[in-house]
Each structure stands twice: as C-alpha cells, then as structure tokens.
Chains A and B, each alone.
Chain A
Amino acid sequence: MTTAGRALASMGPMFFSYLWRELSRRKRQAVFIALGLALGVGLVITVTAAADGVRNSQATVLHALYGVGTDLTVTQPPSQGSGGPIPFGFRQEIKRARNGEIAAGTKISINDLVNNQYSALTASSLAAVARQRDVTAAAGALTLSDDTVTGTIPSVSLGAGGGSISSDFTTASFTVAGVDLASRSLGPLSSARITGGHLLTAADANANDALVDSGYAAQHKLSAGGHIDVGGTSFTITGIVSVPQGGNPPNVYIPLARAQAIGKTGQAALAGKVNTIYVSAASAADIPAVQREISAALPKATVTDSSNLASEVTGSLASASSLASNLGSWLSVAVLAAAFGLACLLTLTAVARRVREFGTLKALGWRNRRIIGQVMGESLVIGILGGVAGAVLGYAGAAVVDAVAPRLSATVPASTAAAPGTLSARAQSLVKALSAAPHTVTVTLSAPVTVRLILLAVALALAGGLLAGGFGGWRAARLRPAAALARVD
C-alpha cells in the first residue's frame, strides 16, 4: 500500500476533511499549481495529438505513394545514355530532320511506352531479391510513361551546334504501371480500391486489359468498358480504381507481361524485365537487415524504405513533422518541467509555512509516513485536478487544430533528371514537359486525441502531483519536532 494509502486507511474520513480544508485554505495556491500542471498536460496532449496527426498524414501519403504492405522498393538509376524521357522515336525523327532526310513541313506523330525513370532489372535480379532471408514476398513492376509527340518538322535547318526548332510540337503523356497480377497485394495496386468495373486478375496476365485511375478517368472521360491506347496498342478498360488521399498513382495499370511486350528503354525491349521491385519484409524490425541484404546482392540498386521516402518528402507536411517532433516535443517537455518545478517549489513553500503544524503532529505521535501521506494526498488531489483540467485543455487544443484543419502539402522529388544533351532550349523545354514531375500531394491535418493519450496526460499530472508531494513530504518528514516547535515558540 502506498504511503498516502496507509494514511488514508488509518485516518478514514479525517484524511479527506483535513486534506480538503487544507487545500481550501490555500485555494489560490492550489489552483495555481493545478493550472500549471494543466497547462503542461494540455500542451502535451495537443502537441502529441498534432504529432500523431502529422504521422497519420505522413502514413497516408507514404502508403499512397508507396503501396500498402510494401516495406521496401528496389530500383536502379538510369544508366548514362539510356535515353531520358524523350521518346526514342521522336529523337530519331529529330535526327533525320537534322540530316535532311525528312522534309520541312512533314507531319509526325510518335507514341511510345517508354522506361525513362529507372534502369531495367532482370528476372534474375527479382529472383535474387526474393531469395533474401528476411524477404517474405517480392513483386516486380514496370513504371513507364506513355509519351505522344505530334507536330510538324520545322522549316529551318538545324545546325550541329544547336539552333532552334521553330515549329510547335504537341506532347501528351500519362504514366503506366505494368503490374504483376499474381502478386497484387504488393506494389502499385495494393492500396487501390475499385470504384467501377472490376479489377484485373491473374487470368488477365496476357490480356490487353487495363485499369484506369479515377482521377485520370474523370479528367479524360474514360469509363469501364471503354478503350485506351497504350504504346500504340488498344486496351479495354475493365475497371476504374482510386488510391487513398495523398497519392500520385499511375494513370493506367496494365498486366506486367503486356507492359514488358510493348515498353522499351531506348531501342531495347523490356521483355522479362522490370524496373521496380516491391518487397515485403518478415517484420518491421527486419527492414534494415533486408535493406542490407538486397544492397549486397544488387550493389547498383537503390533500396528505399518508407523512412527514406519520408526523408525525401518536403513541403509543409515535412515542416509540420519536424515542428512536432522537435519544437513541439521540447516545448511540451519544457512546460511540463516548469509546471513540475513550480508545483514542487510551491509545495515546499507550503510545507515551510506549516512547520508548526507538522511539529505539533509529530509531538502528538504522528509518524513521518503519515505526515508524508497527508502532504502527498494533498498534492495528488492537485495533480488530479491539474490532470482533468489539462485533459480538457488538451482536448480543446486538439479540437482547435481539427477546426482550423491546416492543409499540409508533401512533395516527393522527381526521381529522374532530364539530361537532353545537345538539344536546343526549345527542345529542352519539351524534355522538361516530358520528364517526371515532382509529386506534390495535400493532406488535411487532424489532431486525434486517443484514450491512451488522455491516460498518459493524466498520469503525467499525477506524477507531477506525486513528485511535488514527495518533495514536500520528505521536507516535512525531515523536520525535527523540537526544531519545528522551537521555531514557533
């Protein structure tokens, strides 16, 4: 039984009447201490709730960008001279125009499904990843871009040193994911939800069937049952899918085998190849080990986990995360420490004013632990009041965050830099248009207050009360009765 508990058990109702009247006598001081604790606790609740909200937002964004169930992704940066984002066909046409093989005024229309973001990985790489000890599943995918360039060959000649293309080209581009339908729980489709039609199944592995993202479908008035051209091949849209808020999903999903058949890296075909491997680890604790194992097996590969991705996320979400984890936490700790310090100081002051009282009680035969119990009981009540008030304050603070609902943006940088070599400024801008743009997503911040958080906060307030009471009681217990009475007399 605690000291306060023993004191309570032996004194019965008097424990409470003595405690209550003492607190009533120094009501202002008690309220002041309780408010200090309440402020600290309230701040802890608000900051922690906001930090939880930021974490939830981050998780939403990362899940959307990354895929639910995926722990790691394996990619390989594009090798030098692999072509970049301009369709290979278009580059050939430009070359022929330079050489005078195509007459000015000739209309061209080129549509390629290109791999311009990563280097292609072979099936053996995928198998190597899947073989690693702590890997529970691995699935390959192709992240491709369907690029269409239409326009007219310019009327001026292009010198070797540059010049400018005086004709306008129209570009159109959408992203295409080639997904392994046998491993749909990993990879781009893992977080997708069907909103129309039906999903692709393993039986569709070689079919010219596609799923279209709901946003892209709405923008281009596409629906299930319709058709879409991917790399010059017509695909039937079997379903419309959406991913959770905050994602930047591929526009179109097609079976991996079809993407491998149609897609190209420069001139090279992608048969049997992937450019992204989605990996699931045995447990969260195994992720670093899996990361090391894969890096050892594929030294040129980039192995990214969600924390790497989180560290690449910039924008107000990252700022909020940093603010919550750094300034917010320290502010909470500082206010809480100040509240605890204040509570201890004021309790010690109160004890110092009650020297005569405690000396008298000792003269009457009160044991130290009974006196400590009384002081701790008083502080505990102040702690409870502070905890309750702090919970209300914290809840109100979190409600304010919810009401304001600040919108946070997260930006994931583009993974491919455009490197067009000797192209003119006009062509450079074309390259820029075709290159992968940074992904910026927006989420609304909420501050969820959980029962666990409330309990934690109340426990903190009680700890503050007990700490102050412990100090005060210790001080009271240390008083020699003769000295205490002599000070009075």
Chain B
Amino acid sequence: MYQLSGVVKEYRTGHRTVTALGGMDLVIGDGEWLAVQGPTGGGKSTLLQLLGGLDRPTSGTVEFGHQDLGRMRESAVTRVRAQSIGFIFQSFNLIPTLSAAENVETALVPLGVRAAERRARAERMLATLGLGDRLRHVPSELSGGQQQRVAIARALVKEPAVLLADEPTGNLDEGTRDEIIALLERLWLDRGLTMVLVTHDSAIAARAERTGLLRDGLLTMGQTAQQPPG
C-alpha cells in the first residue's frame, strides 16, 4: 500500500531548521495495522500527514499504490484523500454546526454522491456504529465516545483503503477508549482496512499487527502482534 523511501521532513522556524523525519524507509502492506508510538515531537503526526497527503516530504518519496504523493499535483492528492484515505483525529474535528449525519455526509460530498444517497449511507454507517438514534444531534449534544464514533463513521463511510488515526483515544476515558479500540479492531478485521494508528498508549499499540517506535525522526520497527484479516 505504502512505500516510503528516504523520507526527510524538515520545518523551518525562523533561522532554525527542525528535522521531524530524518530519512525514513517504511513499507506498509495492504490490510496491515501499524501502530506507531513515540514521545511528543518525535515525528508521529508528521508521518501521518505525509501518509495522508496532507503535507509533502522535504526529500524522499511517499508512494501510495504506485503514485508518489509528494510529487502529485495538489488536486490529484486531494482526490486521493477524498477517495482512499480516512482520517480520525484526537479531538474528533467534527463540524460543530452540523448534525452527526451531516458530519458523516461531509466525507461523501467531494465524491459527488447525490444528496439522498449520501444521507442514506451516512445513516447506515452511524447505525452500524450504534448511533442510529443520534443522527440529528450536533457534536455538542454527544459524549466524547459518541463524537469519536461519528468521526470514525465519517472516516469509513466512503469505504477507504486506508484509515489513518492520530491518537484516536487521546481525549477519551478508559472505558470509552477500550470501546473505540475494540470498534477499530473489529472494523480492521471486517473490512480489510490498512490502518496506521499513532498513539502514546502501549495497551492500544499492543493490539496492532505491527508496531513502530518513532523517536527523533527515526523509526524502529517492533514485533508483529496479531495476524492481518482475511
């Protein structure tokens, strides 16, 4: 699915240059679940942004399928994001004025799905995640766990090939965290998703198929913990 070769990402802050990723080589196979751990500032979020085509590497290549995300036109990368990549954020990033169903619909808007079908798919996905009775609720009317489930529904409603999750349980209590992780695990197993999950939580990382430790921009791969789906 992904092949990263010699990926360097540097940020310039004034006269200083900060290296977030210092020459990373990484292959992520189709349907693989990779959990990346590491200290704050180690480059985890940067890696996720490069995988999601939200940013471009300073040097090196980030191949998704056979396309180099770092060299594609912005419109093409946007299309890849719209069709193939689902994001889950730590703070959910739901649109505060839209209902749960409308938030899920936003992922289908760039695909040109007609309004009625959009609504039907969003409602089905929310019902699958146990939120069938919360369709019209706006985020402020939902608990943290419910909000993250809406965010997961939004990420999955377009049936992406890849799910990128940045600290998906970071803002949740322990009980809700377990519930969300169990959900993600089930979805990974059921849908054959390629999943890259960034977390501080070793308990969550331990459930992944493969783990990696990202420290000072350098990735050290760990052991395979569980078998991929299929």
Interface residues of A (CB under 8 A from B): 10-14, 17-18, 21-22, 24-25, 356-357, 359-367, 370, 480-482, 485-486, 488-489
Contacts and interface: CB of A to CB of B under 8 A. Distances in A.
Interface in B100-154: 102, 105-107, 109-112, 114-115, 118, 154
A17 B111 CA distance: 19
B52 A363 contact: yes
Contact of B49 (A356, A361, A365, A485): A485
A365 B110 contact: yes
B45 A489 contact: yes
B90 A489 contact: yes
Given A14-B109, A367-B110, 8 more contacts: A14-B105, A22-B97, A356-B93, A360-B95, A365-B83, A366-B82, A488-B89, A488-B93
A482 B48 CA distance: 10
Given A24-B97, A363-B81, A370-B110, A18 B91 contact: no
B26 interface: no
Given A365-B81, A365-B110, A18 B87 contact: no
Nearest to B92: A360
Closest 7 CB pairs of A and B: A365-B82, A21-B97, A482-B55, A12-B115, A365-B110, A360-B93, A482-B54
A486 B45 contact: yes
A21 B45 CA distance: 31
Given A361-B106, A365-B79, A25 B96 contact: yes
A237 B157 CA distance: 96
Contacts of B32: none
Interface string B142-178: 0000000000001000000000001000000000000
A33 B17 CA distance: 42
B54 A14 contact: no
B54 A481 contact: yes
A21 B94 CA distance: 14
Contact of A370 (B91, B109, B166): B109
A18 B102 contact: yes
Contact of B54 (A18, A21, A22, A363): A363
B5 interface: no
Given A10-B112, A18-B95, A486-B45, A364 B105 contact: no
Contacts of B89: 360, 485, 488-489
Contacts of B112: 10
Nearest to A367: B78
Given A18-B95, A367-B78, A485-B89, A13 B115 contact: yes
Nearest to B155: A364
Contacts of A13: 115
Interface in B68-93: 75, 78-79, 81-83, 87, 89-91, 93
Given A21-B97, A357-B95, A360-B95, A365 B78 contact: yes
B218 interface: no
A14 B45 CA distance: 31
Contacts of B78: 362, 365-367
B172 to A, nearest CB: 15
Contacts of B93: 356-357, 359-360, 363, 485, 488
B95 A482 contact: no
B91 to A, nearest CB: 7
A364 B82 contact: yes
B75 A367 contact: yes
Contacts of A370: 109-110
A24 B97 CA distance: 9
Give chain B's interface residue range (CB within 8 Å of chain A): 20 to 34
A13 B118 CA distance: 11
A488 B55 contact: no
A360 B106 CA distance: 10
Contacts of A363: 52, 54, 81, 87, 93
Given A480-B55, A489-B89, A489-B91, A364 B97 contact: no
A470 B115 CA distance: 26
A488 B98 contact: no
15 contacts: A11-B109, A14-B102, A17-B102, A18-B98, A357-B93, A359-B93, A360-B89, A362-B54, A364-B109, A364-B110, A366-B110, A481-B55, A486-B49, A488-B93, A489-B166
A75 to B, nearest CB: 73
A361 B97 CA distance: 14
B92 to A, nearest CB: 9
A358 to B, nearest CB: 10
B147 to A, nearest CB: 13
Nearest to A369: B75
A10 B106 CA distance: 12
Contact of A482 (B49, B102, B107): B49
B115 A14 contact: yes
Nearest to A357: B95
Nearest to A482: B55
B167 to A, nearest CB: 8
A365 to B, nearest CB: 2
B110 A18 contact: no
B109 A366 contact: yes
B146 to A, nearest CB: 18
A21 B96 CA distance: 9
Contacts of A486: 45, 49
A221 to B, nearest CB: 80
Contacts of A14: 102, 105-106, 109, 115, 118
A50 B87 CA distance: 59
Nearest to A486: B45
A10 B112 CA distance: 6
A10 B166 contact: no
Give the interface centre of A24, A361, A367, A482 by most chain B CB atoms within 10 Å. A482
A212 B59 CA distance: 98
A332 B46 CA distance: 51
Contacts of A361: 95, 106
A14 to B, nearest CB: 6
Contacts of B97: 18, 21-22, 24-25
Contacts of A366: 78, 82, 106, 109-110
Contacts of B106: 14, 361, 364, 366
Nearest to B93: A360
Nearest to B111: A365
Contacts of A356: 93
A351 B89 CA distance: 21
A488 B170 CA distance: 14
Contacts of A364: 81-82, 87, 106-107, 109-110, 154
